[in-house]
């Protein structure tokens, strides 16, 4: 093997690795309820983890219900939950009928219920 073929081979290998990584990260985003095409970047960029306005009981309830700011449940997030009270602006935090505090459209908790209306 020549130095040139090693370089070409290394380049092709690295392109393959990066392509596979890019494809798998898109799949991971879809698994989290996001959109690999980038249409749902708003939910991921919204931060709804400021609980400073909540009292201790509300913070405990939020934690006990397992609220997370970014869902890891495929196809389940606050946007498609019956309990969600969305903000007027889709890029802002909404609220929830069950979980106290700011709620991320892309969030999730243990009492998620499929939205029917």
Beta bridge partners of 108: 68
Nearer to ligand SF4, 41 or 76 (CB): 76
Decide: is 98 part of the binding site for ligand SF4 (CB under 6 A). yes
Nearer Cβ to ligand SF4, position 93 or 103? Answer: 103
Is 112 among the residues that bind ligand SF4 (CB under 6 A)?
yes
Looking at beta carbons only, is 43 or 67 nearer to ligand SF4?
67
Measured torsion, CA atoms of residues 95, 98, 101, 107, in degrees rounded to the nearest 10 = -70
Confirm or reject binding of residue 96 to ligand SF4 (CB under 6 A): yes
Q: Burial level of 17, CB count in 10 A (0-12/13-18/19+)?
A: exposed
The only residue of 33, 101, 102, 107 in contact with ligand SF4, by rule CB under 6 A? 107
Can residue 111 be called a binding residue for ligand SF4 (CB under 6 A)? yes
Residue 78 CB, nearest distance to ligand SF4 (Å)? 3
Range in contact with ligand SF4 (rule: CB under 6 A) among 18-26, 35-43, 53-61, 104-112:
104-112
The sign one gets for the Cα dihedral 51, 52, 54, 57 is: positive
CA gap 46, 56 in Å, rounded? 24
CA atoms within 13 A on the CB side of 73: 19
Reference 98, options 88, 87, 112; nearest CA is 112
Binding residues (CB under 6 A) for ligand SF4: these are: 67, 78, 81, 83-84, 96, 98-99, 103, 107-109, 111-112
């Amino acid at each position: 093997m020549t130095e040139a073929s090693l370089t070409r081979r290394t380049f092709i290998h690295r392109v393959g690795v990066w392509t596979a990584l890019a494809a798998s990260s898109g799949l991971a985003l879809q698994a989290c309820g996001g959109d690999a095409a980038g249409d749902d970047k708003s939910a991921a960029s919204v931060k709804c983890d400021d609980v400073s306005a909540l009292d201790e009981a509300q913070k405990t309830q939020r934690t006990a219900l397992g609220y997370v700011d970014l869902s890891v449940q495929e196809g389940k997030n606050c946007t498609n939950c019956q309990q969600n009270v969305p903000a007027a602006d889709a890029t802002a935090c909404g609220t929830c009928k069950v979980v106290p505090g700011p709620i991320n459209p892309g969030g999730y908790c243990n009492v998620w219920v499929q939205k029917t209306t």
